[in-house]
Amino acid sequence: MGLMHHTEDGVALSVTEEGDGAPFVFQHGLCGDAAQPGQVFPDGAGFRRVTVECRGHGASEAGPFDRLSIRTFADDIAGYMDASGLAPAVVGGISMGAAIALRLAVTRPELVRALVIARPAWVVDEAPENMRPNLEAGDLITRFPPQEARRRYEASPATARLEEEGPDNLASIRGFFTREPRDVTAALLTRISADGPGVSETEVQAIAVPTLVIGHRLDVVHPLAHAQAIAALIPSARFVEITPKAGDAAAYRADFHAALADFLKGL
CA 142, CA 131: separation in Å to the nearest integer?
17
Report the alpha-carbon distance of residue 97 to residue 116 in Å, rounded.
Answer: 10
Question: pLDDT tens digits for 162-219?
Answer: 999 999 999 999 999 999 999 999 999 999 999 999 999 999 999 999 999 999 999 9
Amino acid 238: pLDDT? 98
Mean pLDDT of the chain: 97
What Å distances lie between residue 9 and 12, 67, 127, CA to CA?
Answer: 9, 10, 26
Q: pLDDT, tens digit, for every residue of 44-55? A: 889 999 999 999
Mean pLDDT of 31-37: 98
Span 112-125, average pLDDT? 98
Q: Is the pLDDT of residue 1 over 80?
A: no
**Mean pLDDT along residues 43-70:** 97
Nearest CA-CA partner of 80 in 5, 179, 156, 170: 5
- In the chain, the percentage of residues whose pLDDT exceeds 70 is 100
Domain ranges in the chain are 2-128+197-265, 129-190
Backbone angles phi, psi at 51, to 5 degrees: -125, 120
Look at residue 85 in the predicted model and tell me its pLDDT: 96
pLDDT tens digits for range 204-253 = 999 999 999 999 999 999 999 999 999 999 999 999 999 999 999 999 99
Q: Is the pLDDT of residue 90 over 80?
A: yes
Structural Rg of the chain based on CA atoms = 17
Strand bridging mode 47-52 / 12-18: antiparallel
- Domain at 2-128+197-265: CATH code: 3.40.50.1820
Query: Which are the contacts of 2, defined by CB distance < 8 A and separation ≥ 6?
Result: 14, 15, 16, 59
SS3 194: coil
State the pLDDT at residue 260.
Answer: 98
